Structure 1
């Protein structure tokens, strides 16, 4: 009886000490935190947009008068090795190589790395380009899987194909670097189509910097809907698929209003794996490519880190005009896989180099770039998703006033659709890659709808990628190529 009385009294005390949770107040406080975070993102992106506007216009006005033809004859123009890793790229590989064979550049070699393809990629290359097996001596500076054979085209002597065991994209690029003969290399996707003057433009900052610039990236645009014949872009077009159209807008925003602003202050952490030029010396010294989902970003972060540790002044730049056209996913299924993979790659790069975060030793990279990519790019989708959930719960529970809901929608509209519209306008104002009025009108009107359907989808997918990254999921996931070139 005595023990029972003590137990009852202690239970009463516990119940008396419990503080009731006031859910309406928690929802309101949470909503305001989300609002403040979104306002911070809008201010950051707004600042980058202003930087991009001034920088792109300045570059564009200069480029109208740039003597690119002189670079073809200049003794200072750097020879470049073009590396194209290919795994099951049979559908688009022929058109991609044809586009590379037609570029205007004084001295270059093309190295296709067949990374253990299980389709007829190698057979197609051997048939189309009359490949003959050769003995080629190369210096193994970076680790890679075994090379099974080296082939050279009988009709294009500067075209070489490496046939190797499967090791992933990073491994293939390391093998290509080992085999390359020139001091600079360019990494390209196997389904890419390059404009004729693209290499002259993307290498121009490297040529003029006296080796101060160690990497330079160009723009990537969506090829779906374009007229591409035998690897040559005949005319620019747009797909009728809303999923593809939204990706066109998304790419414009990412490249024109994002990377330009970061590059102008040497804060760029991404040079797209679809089109980027690197100094081989610095990449080898930094350790080459590593096997991560986002190997392109990881390499750029490591290069920044390495040059800071070596206490040398080097730059990584982005040039908006040189364009590489690539195939985009045209279904929800494959787009979802791509976005989840991209977000996992972002997490891997940030986690692997977490030592750089807020570290003054690494200058503006540690104090601005790394925090920006973590708090804005990585955590942004999670915060935005929580905002959507809080908004829905609050409306149904009646715990939030209608003005709060309208404010959240307005911030979402600015963060999504308004910046997308600004990117479309910036494209029309400067690059003019989409020449028809119909193209501009279509993209502009589609950008108005982004907040209503496309952005919520990508937010959910990126949060899924975040969860997969935390639980250590590996691999790229299957992607189906349909090909963009009519061979």
Structure 2
């Protein structure tokens, strides 16, 4: 066999791998759609918060809301105002200033008239030293922790030590919770208090919406295309993938922007891990692993109707850094716990959950980018049959559009967050357009994350924001 013949043979097999991987991904997405539709139909959202209050207020456990903040002076006041307006019977807001270099701490102290206080706290999990605690009798639900910089995981661990409630809610300080979000998210903890370890909620995009005093008054669409396409991505990730994996009992990630956890369960696994930018996924995997190894019944769930609003990047540079970081975090967690993959000891999490990570996060971006270059090249060289080339194009684009549009249909059928038909029409058009350029660029960003992971790169990178001022 000549070198050129061997090269063509290898290229052909790689092309088959690319197409086969795409088919498996598509099949899994369709299965996810079916499970997500079933889950929404079986337990539709309760429309009125007053019903939830009557049903759960007397039984709802206390919650400590942990909001780590690093250089968040632009959004911190609106975020804290949003948290103080939460409708929940017993909660405390713990803002952890993680050694900010801007005026985050000064802004908090000045705006809310906070003063130093003494308060006992545990040292159950390790974190950088706490420099001071601040509170005010006028706002008994608010506590600010000032500590040396140690990263988001370190800040959350400090919050867990300071917290007194049996449950804690981890959020991003630059996010806004809907007033009834905690009341909706706590349902599994009330219904199955011993088994439920963690619950995740939906993250929605605030860009384009009307916001006043830390509250989203009306949902709108942004004019920026990058923000628009991220709305479709977030719907697909939360309303389809996470809801489906929760129904399969194989949910492997709860967003760091909004997650509810049993405090003791988090302490049992050592809290949040250091040395990773995927601390949210890492904690969920550790909870799965510990419960499976202890052979105890447990539940880690996703509830679609508790909503947290966040501001997403509107520039290619910042969005690219974010997606590379997300990719790096997924790889760090996967390889740290790689022995769980297809291991019968870990049940559905090992087979479905880790299989999903392998397919979508580990192999997926590499194979797709190979396909972008290799499939057209083989077709141009005459090595790949035109019918196979056409099948690859149809699979890549047609099914991509189908999954996104089907997710929009699920959203409209059950949640109906977009009041105007015009908004749904725009998002449907974006669901089509994202497959022609944006999806390919997103995979290149994920390849950058792969490269950073292989080089052992650490750090979050610069993330600039406009803030949640009235708009």
Q: Indicate the SS of the match to 2:43.
A: helix
Count the aligned residue pairs: 470
Partner of 2:338: 354
1:378 aligned partner? 362
Q: 1:463 and 2:447 equivalent?
A: yes
Contact persistence 1:71–1:200 (CA under 8 A) = no
Root mean square deviation of aligned Cα: 1.7
Q: Counterparts of 1:67 and 1:100 in 2: how far apart (Å)? A: 21
Taking the aligned partners of 2:309 and 2:413, their CA distance within structure 1 comes to 20
CA contact under 8 A between 2:65 and 2:91: conserved in structure 1? yes
Alignment of 1:146-157 (within 5 A): 146-157=129-140
Query: Which of 317, 320, 333 does residue 317 from structure 2 map onto?
Result: 333
Deviations 1:37-94 (A, max 9, x none): 11111111111110001111222266679921214641x1111000000000011111
Q: Quick check: 1:185–1:277 contact (8 Å CA) kept in 2?
A: yes
Q: Which residue among 244, 255, 266 is the counterpart of 2:227? A: 244
Say which of 194, 208, 232 aligns to 2:191: 208
List alignment gaps of at least 5 residues for structure 1: 1-16
Instruction: Determine the structure 2 residue equivalent to 1:229.
Output: 212
Rounded Cα–Cα distance in structure 2 between residues aligned with 1:285 and 1:269: 18
For 1:20 and 1:179, the matched residues in 2 are separated by 65
- SS in structure 1 at match of 2:146: strand
Distance in 1 of aligned mates of 2:90 and 2:421: 38
| Cα distance in 2 between the residues matched to 1:331 and 1:347 | 25
Quote the residue 1:47 is aligned against. 31
Contact 1:307-1:313 at 8 Å conserved across structures:
yes
Counterpart in the other structure of 2:282: 298
Match of 1:255 in 2: 238
Alignment partner, residue 267 of structure 1: 250
Alignment of 1:439-454 (within 5 A): 439-454=423-438
Aligned to 2:263: 280
Which protein is bigger by CA-based radius of gyration?
1
Q: 2:396 aligned with 1:421, yes or no?
A: no
1:158 alignment partner, SS class: strand
Where do residues 309-324 of structure 1 align in structure 2 (5 Å cutoff)?
309-324=293-308
Q: Give the conservation status (yes or no) of the 8 Å contact 1:224–1:484.
A: no
| Map 1:98-247 → 2, pairs under 5 A | 98-247=81-230
- Choose the corresponding residue for 1:364, options 314, 338, 348: 348
Per the alignment, in what secondary structure is the counterpart of residue 100 of structure 2? coil
The answer to whether residue 391 in structure 2 is matched with residue 407 in structure 1 is yes
Which deviations, in whole Å up to 9, do the C-alpha atoms of 1:180-210 show, x marking residues without a partner?
0100000010111111111110001111113
For 1:23 and 1:91, the matched residues in 2 are separated by 55
2:66 to 62, 83, 86: 83
Asked whether the equivalents of residues 56 and 190 of structure 2 are also in contact (C-alpha less than 8 Å), the reply is no
Equivalent residue in structure 2 for 1:482, among 458, 466, 469: 466
Structure 1, 434-443 or 340-349: larger mean CA deviation: 434-443
Q: Secondary structure of 2:211's partner?
A: strand
CA drift at 1:219: 0.2
> Unmatched 5+ residue regions in structure 2?
none
CA distance in 2, matches of 1:95, 1:19: 64
* Separation in 2, partners of 1:18, 1:232: 68
CA–CA distance in structure 2, aligned partners of residues 136 and 90 of structure 1: 25
Kindly state the Cα deviation for residue 484 of structure 1 after the two structures are TM-superposed.
Answer: 2.5
Cα distance in structure 1, aligned partners of 2:10 and 2:154: 49
1: CA distance between counterparts of 2:339 and 2:383?
42
Summarize the Cα distance change of 1:220–1:72 in structure 2 as closer, same or farther, 3 Å threshold: same
- Counterpart residue number, 1:93: 76
Q: Contact between 1:86 and 1:113, CA under 8 Å: does it hold in 2?
A: yes
